[in-house]
Amino acid sequence: MAKRTILTAPDPRLKAKGKDVDKVDGDIRRLIDDMLETMYAADGVGLAAVQIGVALNVVVMDIAQKEGKNDPQVFINPKILWASEETAKFEEGCLSVPDIWEEVTRHTAIRAQYLDRDGNQQVVEADGFLADCLQHEIDHLSGKLFIDHLSRLKRSMALKKLGKAKRQKELA
């Protein structure tokens, strides 16, 4: 396993559209292991392959880690099959947009299909935080960040803050 570098906005590679995985083989499972290691090291609850510069439709997630025990989840080629009409605001952050937290409007429930680690077709029904995270990660696979859901003003403020933090880190 190897920890990878997480890209941060405005890196153009974050705008890449992921390609579906043809076959869940050893290379993909190694990618998944690297992604989980990278996600846990960064204290994130999810990570999409595009965030480490790999334009494939692979997502890892662990929304239980705050409770002390790891519960890694893997979603390969995830597709939303159904989304509730009902929406709600969720406070979101992103490892590719560090230290920025904003409310994003999301569907409160979704149904999605995906391949698991063994390449088997699965369907997940998600609500609450899992539904929020899945929508956030599936957005990454089409080159979309949570700040793209914000008003132009809020997005430009977030990018400005990010640029400032990056420059200060370079000086430090």
Please identify every residue annotated as catalytic: 137
- The Cα–Cα gap between 130 and 60 comes to 12
Q: Which residues, 6+ apart, have CB-to-CB distance to 56 below 8 Å?
A: 18, 19, 20, 21, 28, 31, 49, 50
The yes or no reply on residue 58 touching Ni ion (CB under 5 A) is: no
74 binds, among ligand GNR, Ni ion, none (CB under 5 to 8 A by kind): none
Q: Which residues, 6+ apart, have CB-to-CB distance to 3 below 8 Å?
A: 34, 37, 38, 41
Q: How many residues bind ligand GNR (CB under 6 A)?
A: 16
Stretch that binds Ni ion, among 67-75, 88-96, 106-114, 162-170 (CB under 5 A): 88-96
Contact 91, 102 (CB under 8 A): yes
- From first CA to last CA, the distance across the chain in angstroms is 30
**Residue of 9, 16, 28, 48 interacting with ligand GNR (CB under 6 A):** 48
Which two tokens mark 17?
A: 């559209």
Task: Tell me the closest approach of the beta carbon of residue 114 to ligand GNR, in angstroms.
Answer: 16
Stretch that binds Ni ion, among 14-22, 31-39, 89-97, 151-159 (CB under 5 A): 89-97
- The three-state secondary structure class of 70 is coil
Contact 55, 86 (CB under 8 A): no
- The Cα–Cα gap between 47 and 60 comes to 5
The yes or no reply on residue 95 touching ligand GNR (CB under 6 A) is: yes
44 binds, among Ni ion, ligand GNR, none (CB under 5 to 8 A by kind): ligand GNR
The yes or no reply on residue 147 touching ligand GNR (CB under 6 A) is: no
Residue with token string 């904003």: 102
Binding mask 90-129 for Ni ion (x = CB under 5 A): ----x-----------------------------------
Residue with token string 């999301």: 106
The yes or no reply on residue 58 touching ligand GNR (CB under 6 A) is: no
Residues forming contacts to ligand GNR in the complex (CB under 6 A) are 44-48, 51, 92-96, 132-133, 136-137, 140
Residues forming contacts to Ni ion in the complex (CB under 5 A) are 94
